Amino acid sequence: MNLISTRIITAQVEAMIHFYEQVTGLTATRYTPDFAELKTRTATLAIGSTRTLQFFGGDSVAQPAQNRSVIIEFKVDDVQQLFEQLAVTLKSVIVQEPTIMPWGNQSLLLRDPDGNLVNLFTPVTHEAVKKFAEE
């Protein structure tokens, strides 16, 4: 089994697409006004409007901007450099500036327009670099 995609349900499709394009440097593929995807080498981040919930059983299936338990993580080449590029335009959504975590990643935490935590990280210790080299 492989994790292929994570989908965010939102009432702010355009704001979410803009945020994730800005953070990742990727261009979203917009299939409809209610659904887009940002594809990375290993997985896809899908963004769907609340209107797409009708296909999954209705509005009670998921609620936008209610997450307080999931962190969406992107491995980047140089988190410090990315922080310097994004700091001016995303200053208001920075939760934590680049910090080395006990497990060896340098992490930058942001909040997307719905309040979801986003971790941009670069492995920096020998062990962390080795871990990601094996994947």
Instruction: Give me the DSSP letters along 16-47.
Output: HHHHHHHHH----EEEETTEEEEE-SS-EEEE
Distance CA 79, CA 33 (A): 31
pLDDT digits (tens, 9 = 90+) for 24-78: 999 999 999 999 999 999 999 999 999 998 888 887 888 899 988 999 999 999 9
Residues 26, 57 within the same domain: yes
* CATH code: domain of residue 37: 3.10.180.10
DSSP 8-class letter at 134 = -
Contacts of residue 70, defined as CB under 8 A and 6 or more positions apart, other chains included, come to 116, 117
Looking at residue 134, what is its pLDDT? Answer: 67
Same domain flag for 26 and 53: yes
Which pLDDT score is estimated for 62?
Answer: 87
Q: What is the pTM of this model?
A: 0.92
Report residue 80's pLDDT band, with 50, 70 and 90 as the boundaries. Answer: very high
With b for 16 or more beta-carbon neighbours within 10 A and e for fewer, the 63-101 pattern comes to ebeebeeeebebbbeebeebbeebeeebeebeeeebeee
Q: Are 132 and 81 found together in one domain? A: yes
Cα angle 23, 26, 28 (rounded to 5 degrees) comes to: 110
Q: What Rg, from alpha-carbon coordinates, does the chain have?
A: 16
Give the integer Cα–Cα distance in Å for 3 and 92: 31
Position 42: which residue type?
T
Residues 47 and 90 in one domain: no
pLDDT the model gives residue 58: 81
